[in-house]
A and B are shown apart, each in its own frame.
Chain A
Amino acid sequence: MMKHLLIASSFLLAAAPSLAAAVVGQPAPAFSVADSNGRTVSLADFKGKTVVLEWTDPECPFVQKHYNGAMQKLQADARRDGVVWLTVNSEGAGKQGAVSAAQANRYVRSNGLMPAAYLLDTSGAMARAYGARTTPHMFVINKEGVVAYAGGIDSIPSADPADTGRAQNFVQLALSDLKAGKAVATPSTRPYGCSIKF
């Protein structure tokens, strides 16, 4: 029994990626990932800029809830304020929500989304480095390259698009705090959504 337990727990350990990484107040983990246009995008490319990371899964109802206009508006506002918005898809090949580069571009166009880049983190390495586990799961990195916000997109964990109007959007709040030169009032929340299928 003991032996079985040991085997089982070592299996779990092997299977469990470290989910410890992006910590609010600490430098954001570096990454270099290919985007849907074949470019390699690195965090180092955006020194001195505020960066938003948005984990996505086009088939996830929690993501779809926000793609109903709310996310588009958030992305447009961010772009206007000179914030770099990176959409990241970490779904494993063959899993729900995994997309090819062409599918990603088509999806961005047809939904009126406007990220600076759509990153295809097919290995899941970037998600593991940040400890991203749901879609959506949001990170805001300030101009100094420090994680300023990590967590859910808003305050109402549901899949109902009607809730986006009533909820507090934590990313919006974090960005406006940063823009005003203040510390982010709510720097971390519990993310909700579909789990990322590595």
Chain B
Amino acid sequence: MPRFLMLLALLLAAPVFAQSYAQLPHTRIELISETTAPKPGDRFTIGLVLEPQAGWHTYWQNPGDAGMPPTIAWTLPKDVVAGPLRFPVPETFVVKGIMNHVYSQRNILLADVQVPAGFSGSLPLVARVSWLVCDDRLCVPENATLRLDLATGSGAPDPLRRADFDSARAAMPRKLAENGGFAVDNGRIRLSVPFAGTDRVTAAHFFSAGDSDFVFASPQTVTRTDNALIIEADAAGPPPATLAGVLRVEQGKQVLGLQLKAVPEAVTSGRPLSGAGARAGASAALLPALGLAILGGVLLNLMPCVFPILSLKAMSLARAGETPARARTEGLAYAAGVVLVTTLLGLAVILIARAGAGAGWAFQLQEPRVIVLLLLLTLAIGLNFAGLFAVNAGTLQAGQGLASRPGASGAFFTGALAAFVATPCTGPFMAGALGAALVLPPRAGLLVFVGLGFGLALPFLAIGFIPALRRHLPKPGAWMETFRRILAIPMLLTSLALAWVLGRQTGVPGLMLGLLSALLLGLGLWWLGLRQARRVSGWPGLVVAGLAVLAAPFGLSCLPAATAAAAEAAPEAPEALGAVSWSPEKLAAAQAAGKPVFLYFTADWCLTCKVNERGALASDAVADHFRKQGISVMVGDWTRPDAAIARFLEERGRAGIPLYLFYAADGSVTELPQLLTVNMLTALASSGSATKP
């Protein structure tokens, strides 16, 4: 059977009428060109598209323990030269301990073709391609002769191929500016790769280009430090002089490939990955969150809406001179009531948040609509604390009947009531617990609410269990009102912080919308408060407030998507530089206008970029100088794959970042070193290229 397939493959690949594509038994292959009219004297990019049949794979440049990479033999017009194939980031495929470095999906290999300056006319590209395609049982060598007929011209990209080349470039590994380090010790090889933002990495695998460093099939242990990923596996031999390869880094669903070189140096191991160690990290965060929740619960007892209930009950307990056993029972019943209600509330909050956010649990704080709702909530609570209006008057009376019942059931309902009426005056503590519940895994989040309830119940438990306390209770009084008003300050500060976040996320239009709805809410609640003071129903105020709350998120989602997207795309550049996000058009426009531009590319994972951004680029002297010289700053963020950036870097013959370019007013371009100093930047002059510092 395989032999028959081979024969078939040979027949199909027979170069009688060579086309630009071929369908083989296990692979579809196609030769594509970014331009149909290559420009003489320039180079253009071609792609080899390999589409293995489902369940089959083709190979990376270093295939691993077995397999073979595709090879290409060109037949080109005289003096036309094709460069080596560039491979996208591969995947691992292990069969019975044999490691394969593969592509199980459509993959595009790229190569650059240089056309000589004097060349003109038809430009046929003929490529004889041989590759191996395998599934987990069979390997079949296939080959095809492909022909693509081009003719010289303007070099303009073919719009039909744009998507293919964009995706091909996005899948390529990006060259790491810094060298990695490695050490071989006791049969283990340890590689350290400089990487910023290692806390977001969920998995990584190093694909070595060489054969004698990593044992391919040896499971790789990945750990991290603050600014490096450490990969450890069995060493395949004595330490090589240098090491090269591609590190595949996964940040959740996002895959990033880094092409790197490493030199011998001491390498220590790091902490577990946050992906792998997400639970560990979360439980580390859980303890403080739980502690704060309990503390917050204790402080909630002082809240004006809780304290009266508590003190009444406590005093009745003290007054009645109950037996210690009875006091303990009531204390426990009260605690049960409190914890039950806070847990239920927590469950509700978590379920609602979950339903709203779908799978993206931790990402909801990036969602402007959630921010705007939190903003309105904290504002309402702050205004309530400040005494603008009251919430609990009605509920308190309704619950009082149940709570005043004697005995354990009365205590239980008092607890439930205390917890329930505590919710509107949750204060900063409840907000903290809410925040924690949003970022922690659901079960841990729920535990925070249990802690809050426990904290709330703690004083009463103490009163129940320690008789001496019953005699020393502070009396409710005017001081509670003052305390509540003071608490309005942190609450309103929280609103302010949320408004800032909203502004960063959505820009000025989104911020205005948020503030407008905040104003509406404030007016509505004010109205409500005024009517409450006159003891008339405040429903019109409530209606206005409700409208504000409903309209704000709706309005936000109606904002032009571009605003939100642009704000999202803007990287965290040093504020003082007033950087705008880069696009080829913007750069061209600035150049046409004769404006000097400082352009740089950055990414969250790029260590050197971050060092520069926190160092030289953040300096006031640089910002001053740029302002005086009229130099505008553009920044391209390559955190996510971006075809425009990839193309731009490629045009400049660069595979990686950082890249710092200065476009002077006279059109001259200077490339700055990868490690910037303040002097280098302040030496940039608007009129011409940089004067050397």
A residues engaging B (CB < 8 A)? 1-2, 5, 9, 12-13, 15-17, 19-20, 59-62, 64, 95-96, 133-134, 157-160, 190-198
Contacts and interface: CB of A to CB of B under 8 A. Distances in A.
Given A64-B3, A95-B137, A2 B130 contact: no
A195 B98 CA distance: 8
A15 B219 CA distance: 11
A19 B217 contact: yes
7 contacts: A5-B276, A17-B97, A59-B3, A158-B68, A158-B141, A159-B130, A195-B134
Contacts of A96: 2, 137-138
A32 B1 CA distance: 33
B153 interface: no
Contact of A195 (B66, B211, B272): B66
A13 B68 contact: no
A197 B219 CA distance: 20
A133 to B, nearest CB: 5
B9 to A, nearest CB: 10
B217 to A, nearest CB: 5
Nearest to B274: A1
Interface in B158-215: 211, 215
B141 A17 contact: no
Contact of A2 (B95, B96, B98, B276): B276
A95 B141 CA distance: 18
Chain B interface residue number, banded? 35 or more
Contacts of A9: 219
Contacts of B219: 9, 12-13, 16
B141 A19 contact: no
Contacts of A194: 66, 134, 139
Nearest to B100: A195
A160 B132 CA distance: 12
Interface of B: 2-3, 6, 65-68, 71, 94-98, 100, 130, 132, 134, 137-141, 143, 211, 215, 217-219, 272, 275-280
A195 B95 contact: yes
A193 B95 CA distance: 15
B190 to A, nearest CB: 17
Given A61-B2, A133-B65, A196 B138 contact: no
B137 A197 contact: yes
A41 B3 CA distance: 31
A2 B134 CA distance: 32
B280 A159 contact: no
Given A13-B219, A195-B98, A61 B141 contact: yes
Given A2-B276, A2-B277, A15 B96 contact: yes
Contact of A60 (B65, B95, B139, B276): B139
A2 B138 contact: no
A19 B130 CA distance: 28
Contacts of A62: 141
Contacts of B71: 158
What are the 8 tightest A-B residue pairs by CB atom distance, in nearest-first order?
A195-B66, A159-B141, A16-B97, A194-B139, A198-B96, A9-B219, A195-B98, A17-B97
Contacts of A190: 211
